[in-house]
Amino acid sequence: MLNNADDFVSVIDRKRNLVVATVAVGKNPSRIAITPNGQFAYIGNTDTQDLSVIDLKQSIVVATITVGNEMSTIAITPDGQFAYVVNNEDDRILVIDLKQNIVVATITVGSEPFDIVITPDGQFAYVVNDGDDRVFVIDVKTQLVIAVVKVGGNSLALAITPDGQFAYVLNSSEDTVSVVVNFSGDTVSVIDVKTHAVISTISIGADPIALAIDPDGQFVYIANRTDGTVTIINVKTHAVISTIRVGAMPSALAITPR
């Protein structure tokens, strides 16, 4: 658990629901990613512009990695080989070799990259840019941009189906989904991961802010902030099948494994 104001991480034993360790990190820790093997946690510290690497067995910091301004997301490849750090202010992605804990590549993307997701097979990284409403597709093997996809307005988040077939992007300003989310369009853009092209744009509720895909990959759930609803989309048909009214200003959502 990140404690922004106190600059430390609390380690909780899930069986006993107790804090078993407190680890000091950099200033204003705001992002966290854990390696697939559960051995290390990478903590993004906003004010010191670095990553603290915590050995979870020992609950100690074993490395500190300098990154850039306004890191917004950390994503780790399924094989645990690389971490991708989004630098929102610098318009770039840093690639970190997790064996050496050093930056091995810097990838320039579009304006104000905000979120990044890696495909389940570890082949591609999808980066959504809030500043220019584009998605950059990075080949993980070569660390090169191989495609750029135009989506809807104010794109803030994306998710990829468990089978790796589709990416959903929120278009907030258009109230649609491109199977890539556009915050200012209230739409979702749906991207075919094989062709890296938008194949559908779906109108949803007002100001979509977060999305999640169920473990079976059948449905996409989208929280719409302004109208206090959750939109449910069928992945096969790319159609809205239900809208659920929830509380005021929903900001996040999560789905249980089963």
Structural domain boundaries in the chain: 151-258
Query: Residue 44 forms beta bridges with which residues?
Result: 31, 51
| Number of neighbours of residue 19 by Cβ within 10 angstroms | 11
Distance, in Å, from the CA atom of 182 to the CA atom of 212, rounded to the nearest integer, reads 14
Distance, in Å, from the CA atom of 181 to the CA atom of 32, rounded to the nearest integer, reads 22
Residue 42, Cα to own-chain centre: how many angstroms? 14
DSSP string, 108-131: E-SSSEEEEEE-TTSSEEEEEETT
Tokens for 26? 């950099």
**What pLDDT score was predicted for residue 181?**
46
**What pLDDT score was predicted for residue 167?**
85
For residue 72, what is the DSSP state? E
**5 CB-near residues (< 8 Å, 6+ apart):** none
**What pLDDT score was predicted for residue 16?**
94
CATH number of 151-258: 2.130.10.10
**What pLDDT score was predicted for residue 188?**
79
Per-residue exposure over 125-161, b if at least 16 CB sit within 10 Å of its own CB, e if not: bbbbbbebbbbbbbebeebebeeebebbbbbbbbbbb
**CB-CB contact of 138 with 144 (8 Å):** yes
**What pLDDT score was predicted for residue 182?**
45
Please give the angle made by the CA atoms of 172, 155 and 93, to the nearest 5 degrees. Answer: 155
For residue 51, is it left (φ>0), alpha (ψ between -120 and 50) or beta? beta
**What pLDDT score was predicted for residue 119?**
92
What tens-digit pLDDT sequence spans the chain (258 residues)?
999 899 999 999 989 999 999 999 999 999 999 999 999 999 999 999 999 999 999 999 999 999 988 888 999 999 999 999 999 889 999 999 999 999 999 999 989 998 999 999 999 999 998 888 889 999 999 999 999 988 876 777 788 888 888 888 877 766 666 554 444 457 777 888 788 888 888 888 888 888 899 999 999 999 998 989 999 999 999 899 999 999 999 988 999 887
**CB-CB contact of 217 with 186 (8 Å):** no
**What pLDDT score was predicted for residue 96?**
98
**CB-CB contact of 128 with 157 (8 Å):** yes
| Number of neighbours of residue 228 by Cβ within 10 angstroms | 16
**What pLDDT score was predicted for residue 194?**
81
Distance, in Å, from the CA atom of 228 to the CA atom of 245, rounded to the nearest integer, reads 6
Give the predicted TM-score (pTM) of the model.
0.84
